[in-house]
Amino acid sequence: VEDDEIIDCYDIYRQPSLNQPLLCNHTIQADGYMNSGCYNLLCNGFVHTTPNISLGCNFREVSTFNGNQKDATFGIHKDQNSGHWWVQLQGISVGYYPSSLFTELSKTAILVEWGGEIINKKSKGRHTSTQMGSGHFPSEGGLKTSSYFNWVQVVDENNMIKDPENIDQYVTNPKYCDLKIDDDNYDTYGYGFYYEGPGYNDRCQ
């Protein structure tokens, strides 16, 4: 979610078809990724309202490559009365970012981002071999092989839920990790996409 401030809900390690336990990583960037930022409950200001679920939580059951898939439903929405931004998991309100933390975002958001992220701290510009998800490209099969988002929706200014509009795809380097829109299953899963990859690999030579 972006205006002058950004809240990113990235399912970095698995969402939902990666064989890694850590799932719900949330990043809050109050100055647009310029100087500050923190993860999960390390951020000051988040009001935690559910004792059994926390940001950065582990999931007991995860998907297996080419096997059973486990899904989770996430949501971030603004309370029209208080202006607080609530985080939900499986329909349960985990807590909220108070409207007092923000300036423009206390009114509205103009950008929402979904996807995955790999942090590369190597110098000289070469990506590491750190894989995203199962390490397989979306072109290798999609469902059961790659991470995915489905039923991706936004809440508009009239508090109505709808499909996102004016969508841009952003992939840093498709030789490392890639993204594929799932046009074939819209009637079943709504708007969605597959994403992930192996990181540095033979295709990068």
Q: Please give the pLDDT value at position 185.
A: 86
Residues 100 and 129 in one domain: no
Q: Are residues 104 and 200 in the same domain?
A: no
Tell me: do 66 and 95 sit in the same domain.
yes
| Pair (97, 24) in one structural domain | yes
Three-state secondary-structure class, residue 40: helix
Residue 164 and residue 103 share a domain: no
pTM for the structure as a whole: 0.72
Q: Render each residue's pLDDT in the chain as its tens digit; 205 residues.
A: 443 333 333 333 333 333 333 334 444 444 444 455 566 677 678 888 988 887 877 788 888 888 888 888 999 988 888 889 999 988 899 999 898 888 777 777 888 888 888 776 665 666 677 888 888 899 888 788 888 899 999 988 888 899 988 888 888 888 888 999 988 888 888 999 999 888 877 776 6
| Same-domain pairing of 103 and 33 | yes
Q: Do residues 82 and 133 both lie within one domain? A: no
pLDDT for 121: 67
Domain that holds residue 88: 1-113
Q: Are 153 and 162 in contact (CB under 8 A)?
A: yes
Residue 145 sits in the same domain as residue 106 = no
What's the start-to-end Cα distance of the chain, in Å?
A: 36
